[in-house]
Chain A
Amino acid sequence: AQRVTQPEKLLSVFKGAPVELKCNYSYSGSPELFWYVQYSRQRLQLLLRHISRESIKGFTADLNKGETSFHLKKPFAQEEDSAMYYCALYNFNKFYFGSGTKLNVKP
């Protein structure tokens, strides 16, 4: 069965520090993986997808099939990065979301 695990409920870092939000998945095929973000009082929105291999707002995520991970990274965190982050796996028109990690970037 498909499952997405985000082991950290809360991650606090200082501004300018590197940040890594962890995501592990279980899926037997070739997954399509995403990171979604929800800023305070805003809607859930797509941050990035692994297929496009792009960097959005300085964030990148690499799919590691051997470790079944899709960690989200940013070298220098900014205060405006504070938000709730969800990792998600897509399969046959279904999305499987992790439970989310709240990122708090302190000044």
Chain B
Amino acid sequence: DAGVTQSPTHLIKTRGQQVTLRCSPKSGHDTVSWYQQALGQGPQFIFQYYEEEERQRGNFPDRFSGHQFPNYSSELNVNALLLGDSALYLCASSLEGTARGYSYNEQFFGPGTRLTVL
């Protein structure tokens, strides 16, 4: 199992363009979360997908949208790119359900996609 995979590794776009990032979850996982990590900052939660629906969303504008496919893979789309969208975008997968009574299930992170907006 390669774990969580993301593509592409790096991406350069110009302002106003649109971008799509892809994520394949760890084998057996059904939940995908996306994060934006700006330089020198911690990851910021964008949204989470479960059963092909956006289940939870962070404080990001509607320019950020996503999709989850029946095979649990996911895409993150960003429209009308701004310079401030330059960041590392992380995908994390987990398995829904409680484990030993915890509401949290461990998230496994991918290597990230480095997006540069010029």
Q: Which residues of A contact B (CB under 8 A)?
A: 4, 6, 9, 32, 34, 43-46, 49, 51, 86, 88, 90, 92-100
Contacts and interface: CB of A to CB of B under 8 A. Distances in A.
20 contacts: A4-B42, A43-B111, A44-B43, A44-B92, A44-B109, A46-B106, A86-B42, A90-B104, A93-B33, A93-B48, A93-B55, A93-B56, A94-B48, A95-B35, A95-B45, A96-B45, A97-B44, A98-B42, A99-B42, A100-B42
Contact of A94 (B3, B42, B45, B106): B45
Nearest to A84: B42
A99 B40 contact: yes
Interface string B104-118: 101111110000000
Interface of B: 3-4, 33, 35, 40-45, 48, 55-56, 58, 90, 92, 102-104, 106-111
Contacts of B41: 99-100
B109 A32 contact: no
A44 B110 CA distance: 8
A97 B106 contact: no
Contacts of B103: 32, 90
